[in-house]
Structure 1
Amino acid sequence: MGEVQALKNARVIGETRNGYLQIVTEPKDAGYRSYVHRIVEAENRSRYLLYAHEAKKIGESLSGVEILYGKRWRDDAFPGELVQKPDGSWSQKEEPGEGRSR
């Protein structure tokens, strides 16, 4: 998880609306790009297994569980991390209370 967090902190990857990681800024360096792809693929494989198990356990569709976890991951993201909006666009998560009228 430390490697995933480091890539999030670098704004290279973000949390998608369906519960998986996605590379948002493709690294130019071939070695680093390969590393990023390996980390994202491994984490997404683990997430898929978790979601499939959870879907079977609670009798929900896989896509329903993916969306549920996607919301959780985005809600738990730190301010500044990249998160995918429901329309598919990307933004940085706001600071708590930021953008809200008082």
Structure 2
Amino acid sequence: MKKLISSAIIFTVTIHCSIKTPEITLTGEKTALESQILGAYEQLSTQNLATTSARTSTNAVSAAEGQQESVLQAMQNQQFNKDEIDELKRSKVIGENRAGYLEILGSSKYESDPVYKNIVDKIVADENRDRRIIYQRLLAVDASSEKENTDALSTFAKIQGEKSEVGTMIQQPDGQWIEKAKSK
């Protein structure tokens, strides 16, 4: 009898267990600059901004705290507007330009409906403002040469395009707009 009960328990437990294979996504190698920017962005997003151990004036501390607050607010705004931005990208009303900002591409609804146009204009302006705040903070944290800053900004633009869904309109370095294709 004990064998029968033990067998029934083992059978029941094994039926309810399942093995799931992990989802593995292969991506290309990231450049050192991309890794550095992504690392800095993740550091900002987890609110682990570095603070100095040197004595500073209260004005410098207040300015740093103000910058930190504005970056965190910008990141919260981005999360708040993400769904609307993704929908506008899917409908090809907006796209990711080569400078790393959103750009309005227009549509018949955008041109004919002033209320819709105002909503789109505000969402794009807010997102671009938030990106500018984050970009400036990341560049300020790692004070680099003008060329390195230019490289970093083009990398920001590349990252924004990569983060976008398939079908998003992406502006190429030559100015041409193409639809983001599915990764191979």
TM-score (norm 2): 0.50
Q: Deviations over 1:1-57 (max 9, x none)?
A: 111111111110001111100001251211101110000000000000000000011
Aligned residue pairs, count: 97
Local SS of the residue matching 2:106: coil
Higher percent of residues as helix: 2
TM-score (norm 1): 0.87
Local SS of the residue matching 2:116: helix
Local SS of the residue matching 1:11: coil
Structure 2 CA distance for aligned equivalents of residues 54 and 94 of structure 1: 29
Q: Which runs of 5+ in 2 are unaligned?
A: 1-81
Local SS of the residue matching 2:158: helix
Query: Residues 4 and 39 of structure 1 are in contact (CA less than 8 Å); yes or no, is this contact kept in structure 2?
Result: yes
Structure 1 runs of 4+ off > 6 angstroms?
A: none
1:36 aligned onto 2:120: yes
Identity %: 31
Given candidates 136, 139, 164, the residue that maps to 1:55 is: 139
Q: 1:37 is matched by which residue type in structure 2? A: D
Query: RCO (CA 8 Å, sep 6+): is it higher in 1 or 2?
Result: 1
Matching of residues 1-102 of structure 1 within 5 Å: 1-26=82-107, 27-28=110-111, 29-60=113-144, 61=146, 63-97=150-184
Higher percent of residues as strand: 1
Q: 2:174 is matched by which residue type in structure 1? A: D
Structure 2 CA distance for aligned equivalents of residues 66 and 75 of structure 1: 14
Local SS of the residue matching 2:182: coil
Q: Which runs of 5+ in 1 are unaligned?
A: 98-102
Query: Residues 54 and 65 of structure 1 are in contact (CA less than 8 Å); yes or no, is this contact kept in structure 2?
Result: no
The alignment's C-alpha RMSD in Å is: 1.4
Match of 1:100 in 2: none
Query: Residues 19 and 66 of structure 1 are in contact (CA less than 8 Å); yes or no, is this contact kept in structure 2?
Result: yes
Match of 2:31 in 1: none
